[in-house]
């Protein structure tokens, strides 16, 4: 699923192409695309038509577009959701789920989702620490790229978790934005095995890990994100290319860029975790 860099790439595209525009029409082509909007398709369209998008924002992996009504359109990209900006009259995508047309007759906003795990919903907002957030994401912690991110508090929250360090990194209430890919990359940079207890890390090591996560996501953002197939794209349909720079994730059997030992793959939470057996040794007592 898309993580912070991929979502940020989409957010910037939405900011550049749809913010400030007046919504004229909304067409919902598949009910699953708005299943989180419980009142249904007619109500979803009515909440948008006649209003404008005022901002495109993100917290961690969560993306939304503010409406002039004071509500927000929350986008769950899921495994294959795409927010595309397309010229009026361009052929419909095979998996087009929602189309937003604008009063200026300029490019449309289209939500395309092959696997239909993603979706859109109109949400009320809640103020948290002086910031308005869609209510469903009000509990999400700040991410390392947030100007008000508090690294000291994040280190303390990480070290309070009585679980494996990777599981703690993926906990969006501890620090948001990090998913499976960038957790593995950060752990590789910090020379930590994913099963190390989070509450056993020193403050210095926990801070090093969060810095590594920030650095790798910043590098990925500059590369347009990580795209393993044609499903992760920006609003223009272009894929990112950070997958070419990954050191551990998805590199099973390939030499570690640091020491040359083959990267290993281990099961983790119904997924996989990739690490170097020499640079990231198992913690004492580790058993799969």
Active site residue 3: yes
For residue 251, give every residue at least 6 positions away whose Cβ sits within 8 Å of its Cβ, in sequence order, or none.
263, 274
Q: Do residues 138 and 126 touch, judged by C-beta distance below 8 A?
A: yes
Return the SS3 of 132.
strand
DSSP state of 135: G
For residue 15, indicate whether it is catalytic: no
Q: Which one of 3, 6, 108, 185 is the catalytic residue?
A: 3
Q: Judge residue 91's burial from the number of C-beta atoms within 10 Å of its C-beta, 0-12 exposed, 13-18 middle, 19 or more buried.
A: exposed
For 199, counting Cβ atoms within 10 Å of its Cβ (0-12 exposed, 13-18 middle, 19+ buried), the class is middle
- Cβ 282 vs Cβ 187: under 8 Å: no
Query: CB-based contacts of 196: which residues, under 8 Å, 6+ apart?
Result: 164, 165, 283
DSSP-assigned letters across all residues of 147-176: TT--HHHHHHHHHH--SBHHHHHH-TTTS-
Pick the catalytic residue from 87, 91, 94, 271. 271
Catalytic residue among 2, 5, 134, 144: 2
Alpha helices by DSSP H, listed for 41-147, are 41-48
Does 205 qualify as catalytic in the annotation?
Answer: no
Q: Is 271 a catalytic residue?
A: yes
**Cα-based distances in Å from 118 to 20, 31, 152:** 25, 11, 34
Q: How far is CA 24 from the centre of its chain?
A: 29
Catalytic pick among 58, 61, 110, 142:
61
Q: Which residues are catalytic?
A: 2-3, 61, 271
């Amino acid at each position: 699923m898309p993580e912070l860099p991929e979502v940020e790439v989409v957010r910037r595209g939405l900011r550049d192409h749809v913010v400030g525009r007046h919504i004229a029409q909304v067409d919902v082509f598949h009910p699953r695309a708005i299943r989180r909007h419980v009142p249904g398709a007619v109500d979803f369209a009515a909440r948008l038509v006649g209003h404008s998008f005022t901002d495109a924002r993100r917290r961690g992996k969560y993306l939304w577009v503010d409406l002039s009504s004071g509500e927000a359109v929350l986008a769950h990209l899921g495994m294959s959701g795409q927010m595309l900006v397309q010229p009026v009259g361009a052929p419909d995508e095979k998996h087009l789920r929602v189309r937003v047309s604008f009063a200026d007759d300029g490019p449309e906003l289209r939500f395309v989702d092959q696997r239909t795990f993603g979706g859109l919903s109109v949400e009320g907002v809640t103020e948290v620490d002086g910031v308005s957030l869609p209510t469903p994401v009000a509990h999400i912690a700040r991410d390392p790229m947030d100007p008000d991110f508090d690294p000291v508090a994040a280190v303390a929250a990480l070290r309070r978790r009585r679980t494996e360090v990777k599981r703690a990194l993926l906990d969006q209430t501890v620090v948001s934005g990090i998913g499976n890919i960038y957790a593995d990359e950060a752990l590789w940079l910090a020379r930590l095995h994913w099963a190390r207890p989070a509450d056993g890390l020193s403050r210095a090591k926990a801070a090093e890990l969060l810095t590594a996560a920030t650095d790798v996501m910043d590098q990925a953002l500059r590369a347009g994100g990580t795209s393993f197939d044609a499903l992760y794209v920006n609003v223009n349909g272009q894929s990112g290319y950070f997958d070419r720079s990954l050191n551990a994730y998805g590199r099973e059997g390939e030499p570690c860029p640091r020491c040359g030992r083959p990267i290993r793959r281990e099961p983790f939470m119904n997924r996989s975790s990739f690490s170097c057996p020499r640079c990231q040794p198992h913690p004492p007592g580790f058993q799969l």
